[in-house]
Structure 1
Amino acid sequence: MNTFTDTPGTGAAQRIAPVIEQFLGGPPPVRLRMWDGSETGPKDAPTVHVRSRRALRRLLWQPGELGLAEAYITGDIDIDDDLADGLRAMRRASREQGLELPRPGIADRLRAAGTALRLGAVGPRPPVPAARAGLSGALHSKARDRAAISHHYDLSNAFYSLLLDETMAYSCGYWTGAGPDYGPADAQRDKLELICRKLGLTAGARLLDIGCGWGSLTLHAAGRHGVRVTAVTLAKEQAAYVRARVEERGLQDLVEVHNCDYRDVAGLPGFQGSYDAVSTVEMGEHVGDAEYPAFTALLHSVLRPQGRALVQQMSRGSTAPGGGAFIESYIAPDMHMRPLGETVGLLEGAGLEVRDVESMREHYVLTVEAWHRTLEERWSEFVALVGEETARVWRLYLVGGALAFEERRMGVDQILSVRPDAEGAAGTPATRHGWYAGLGAVAGQGGHTPAEPAIAGQRPGSVR
């Protein structure tokens, strides 16, 4: 049981405690240590260290999640314990106390401002951290989307090479093992192979990889399965990286890379209805709500009859907000997540038949935690590369992301659909057996790809 104790006297902690309680709707679930050394709050709760008056000034100018995040990014606020443990304990305490944020009125805000004035925290608005995105233009216009993608994915190839494993897959892995010899790169290879199997890719098949990232699926499909891949990314850094890896591995005859908007795919040679498969791995979150029906129509139009589409995409709980102010300001501006069922409905509305849905939520907890371990283990290298504020942005992002998946506020799913032919035939295997057999061997030792059951009338090189 928590014991609420205060440092004797009338320090900053004692003065600010009533204001915090008023704005939280109850006692704070953390212990506060202020810049003057005064403390208040449960003595066995995580300790939030408010290092300067500037932290309060930030919250006056930017109340709520974004103000708190920016105070952490700039180092004005810190958590003395492990950040993940601290945030988890704070959320648990908030649930147990039943805290519900009230809507403070003008009088409440004036009292808070008066307290801040007495503490010397009133002043001009603190500068916004440089890592914050500053987008302009119409929402989801091509120019704004390019700027949004560049903000996140063009941070630098060196940064992502440091953060990710050798596959350079920046998406949820598929963890088929838990031993010391099985790691993040193995989980990513298992994920890539699982996608290839769900799409039924064989030598000579044509794959359109929309939002190819640093080419993990493109390179795996071409290098392991002999698939002809058209890779599309809006990020210049990614396109340059994929082209270099294609040349390095001698895959120029199988892979072509396009640095363009997904809406320009229709202008690529041999576009209409010619692909055996299309993949989009954690790219649909950037499409936007109003634009998503056109996006699903594109997936349908690129496929030949019986061609398959695989969408791996993050979702939000039915009552969860999705990204939130911090994510949308610093990580993925203009990102839109919807509940899984809505995405399935949009795919069906485009004429695709949804054949399989697989939740990977717990897999993302493991994936993000692996990235976070790398960040902490190589912290000084990240700071030297991008600066401490950006490194703290990523620490907050990864810790918060893992908790969101852990607590089911966010999910991620693989959705497999098919474009049926004129007679309604889907051409998909009768069972899922061939998808999963031997995945761990694929990750660790090159493995073996089991064949799907043959389908009558199937032409060589097509999706089975």
Structure 2
Amino acid sequence: MNVAQRLTDLVGPLLGGDLPVRVRGWDGSEAGPEDAPLLHVTSRRALRRLLWEPNELGLAQAYVTGELDVPGGADELAEGLRRVWRHARASEAGPVGLSLSAKFNAARLALRLGAVGRRLPAPASQATVSGALHSRARDRAVIAHHYDLSNEFYSLILDESMAYSSGYFPADDTTLEQAQTAKLDLICRKLGLQPGMRLLDVGCGWGSLSLHAAEFFGVQVLGVTISAQQHDFITKRIAERNLGDRVEVRVQDYRAVRERPFDAVSSIEMGEHVGLENYPVYANALFSHLKPTGRLLLQQMSRRSDAAPGGGPFIEAYIAPDMHMRPLSGTLGFLEQAGFEVREVQSLREHYVRTVQCWLDTFESHYDQAVAMVGEEVARVWRLYLVGGALSFEEGRMGVDQILAVRPSAIGESDIPATPQWFTAVVR
């Protein structure tokens, strides 16, 4: 029995025609274009899993467990996904899923291939969270799932700054490290930071912006994170750079910060995690911490209006449970409702494509180390995440923007130049 041909005959019509990838079955048979990326169905379990989850989540589960494999690695995985998405769009096929008749055909094929059985348990790497949505306890658990794999693991992906957000590439030959420095400079100049000012860095990550603002712009910084691993990392870097008199970092929820007012507030790719219903609370908190004429720099991911708010079933199950992205217009509306005057929006979507590709290249060069550190399954989760993320930005399903806003004074003053000149990045 030619397993590969039977699988392509079943799946091809769902995507509007012949599969744009080559398929190898667990019996060694192959079908599909000779020059296309190769998808290896290594186990009957993949088909059983897809019978129960005939969607993106089922595919992801099969991939991270190795029941589906792409032997060519990240580059071939990216090209395979790219071809499938383009093929589906060109044929106007809907999202991956099965009609009633297709389910019947799939079940009949699975029975003939010996793949029928009870639902398989979710892979161990799939997140399990409980409690009230966006309660402080649940938010801590979600952040721990994503960020507390270990600082050593993230060092296999990120550059020396440990900046886990889009860089800013002012030239074609800009390196990732230069792009992250350019991004930090751009943020600090948009905020108008001067020696002696006070900056609140909400969701400070591994501290790249907090440390940069203190070291190169002379400001006093309070950074807050709810990741214990990140807090430990920043604390060590503060000591290494002798910045203890200028930077304080806490394990603290943004809703618990009591100090005010600050001259400036930053929040870099953290707003995606606060949730839709909590976003007014978040926006009001950012506003309340600022003095009149104080500036906010918010760097945040967005989504196309027809894209999944959480990034899709795979992202929501494996990477960032409870994440909620919205179209840019929705975020601007929340900020204006909180009292902010939105002054500028700069898209960094193409910059994120380059950033994630750099992360992926670094990760692939350390792949064996990642497997030794976190296991094959988690390493495959991150390969799929980085590949899929780069494609989402490349194809415009997701975006990222820097939003500069100000808390105007009672008489409408902003203290922002009418023609600011901060778009020319400084590469240190």
Length-normalised TM-score, structure 2: 0.95
Return the offset for 1:45: 2.9
Return the offset for 1:437: 4.1
Q: Which runs of 5+ in 1 are unaligned?
A: 1-9, 444-464
Aligned residue type for 1:419? R
Aligned residue type for 1:165? D
User: What residue number does 2:264 align with?
Assistant: 277
Three-state SS of the structure 2 residue aligned to 1:209 is: strand
Q: CA contact under 8 A between 2:199 and 2:266: conserved in structure 1?
A: yes
1:351 aligns with 2:339: yes
Question: Between Structure 1 and Structure 2, how many residues are aligned?
Answer: 424
Sequence identity of aligned pairs in percent? 58
d(CA) in 1 for partners of 2:202, 2:381: 27
d(CA) in 2 for partners of 1:84, 1:121: 28
User: What residue number does 2:90 align with?
Assistant: 96
Return the offset for 1:63: 1.6
d(CA) in 2 for partners of 1:439, 1:264: 35
Of residues 252, 271, 275, the one that matches 1:260 is 252
TM-aligned CA distance change 1:101 to 1:246, over 3 Å = closer
Of residues 7, 20, 36, the one that matches 1:16 is 7
Return the offset for 1:109: 2.3
1:187 aligns with 2:179: yes
d(CA) in 1 for partners of 2:97, 2:176: 44
User: What residue number does 1:244 align with?
Assistant: 236
Write the mapping of 1:137-148 to structure 2, written as runs, cut at 5 A.
137-148=131-142
1:43 aligns with 2:19: no
d(CA) in 2 for partners of 1:17, 1:217: 49
Three-state SS of the structure 1 residue aligned to 2:20 is: coil
Three-state SS of the structure 1 residue aligned to 2:32 is: strand
Greater shift in the superposed pair: 21-30 or 317-326 = 21-30
Write the mapping of 1:47-446 to structure 2, written as runs, cut at 5 A.
47-81=38-72, 82-101=76-95, 104-179=98-173, 182-266=174-258, 271-272=259-260, 274-322=261-309, 323-433=311-421, 435-437=422-424, 439-440=426-427, 443=428
Aligned residue type for 1:425? E
d(CA) in 2 for partners of 1:105, 1:399: 28
Greater shift in the superposed pair: 336-345 or 84-93 = 84-93
d(CA) in 1 for partners of 2:364, 2:98: 38
Three-state SS of the structure 2 residue aligned to 1:100 is: coil
Alpha-carbon displacement from aligned partner over 1:294-350 (angstroms, at most 9, x marks no partner): 111111100000000010000001222241000111111100000001101110111
Q: CA contact under 8 A between 1:33 and 1:40: conserved in structure 2?
A: yes
Q: CA contact under 8 A between 1:26 and 1:99: conserved in structure 2?
A: no
Alpha-carbon displacement from aligned partner over 1:174-216 (angstroms, at most 9, x marks no partner): 011222xx31111000000100000000111000000000000
Q: CA contact under 8 A between 1:25 and 1:101: conserved in structure 2?
A: no
d(CA) in 1 for partners of 2:158, 2:299: 19
User: What residue number does 1:462 align with?
Assistant: none
Q: CA contact under 8 A between 1:69 and 1:326: conserved in structure 2?
A: yes
Q: CA contact under 8 A between 2:302 and 2:328: conserved in structure 1?
A: yes
Q: CA contact under 8 A between 2:54 and 2:96: conserved in structure 1?
A: no
Alpha-carbon displacement from aligned partner over 1:75-104 (angstroms, at most 9, x marks no partner): 111124421122112222223333235874
Aligned residue type for 1:141? S
Aligned residue type for 1:275? F
d(CA) in 1 for partners of 2:368, 2:399: 31
d(CA) in 2 for partners of 1:106, 1:340: 37
Greater shift in the superposed pair: 103-112 or 119-128 = 103-112
Greater shift in the superposed pair: 91-100 or 142-151 = 91-100
Three-state SS of the structure 2 residue aligned to 1:42 is: coil
d(CA) in 2 for partners of 1:232, 1:73: 33
Q: CA contact under 8 A between 1:29 and 1:94: conserved in structure 2?
A: no
Instruction: Please give the root-mean-square deviation of Cα atoms over the aligned residues, in Å.
Output: 1.6
Three-state SS of the structure 2 residue aligned to 1:312 is: strand
Alpha-carbon displacement from aligned partner over 1:17-45 (angstroms, at most 9, x marks no partner): 44324544543332221111222333333
Higher Cα radius of gyration = 1
Aligned residue type for 1:311? L
d(CA) in 1 for partners of 2:404, 2:212: 19
Aligned residue type for 1:98? E
Length-normalised TM-score, structure 1: 0.88
Q: CA contact under 8 A between 2:16 and 2:88: conserved in structure 1?
A: no
Return the offset for 1:245: 1.0
Three-state SS of the structure 1 residue aligned to 2:156 is: helix
d(CA) in 2 for partners of 1:237, 1:401: 24
User: What residue number does 1:454 align with?
Assistant: none
d(CA) in 1 for partners of 2:315, 2:358: 19
Aligned residue type for 2:372? A
Alpha-carbon displacement from aligned partner over 1:238-269 (angstroms, at most 9, x marks no partner): 01111111122111111111101111113xxx
Greater shift in the superposed pair: 408-417 or 13-22 = 13-22
Aligned residue type for 1:37? G
Aligned residue type for 1:230? L
Q: CA contact under 8 A between 1:148 and 1:332: conserved in structure 2?
A: yes
Q: CA contact under 8 A between 1:73 and 1:393: conserved in structure 2?
A: yes
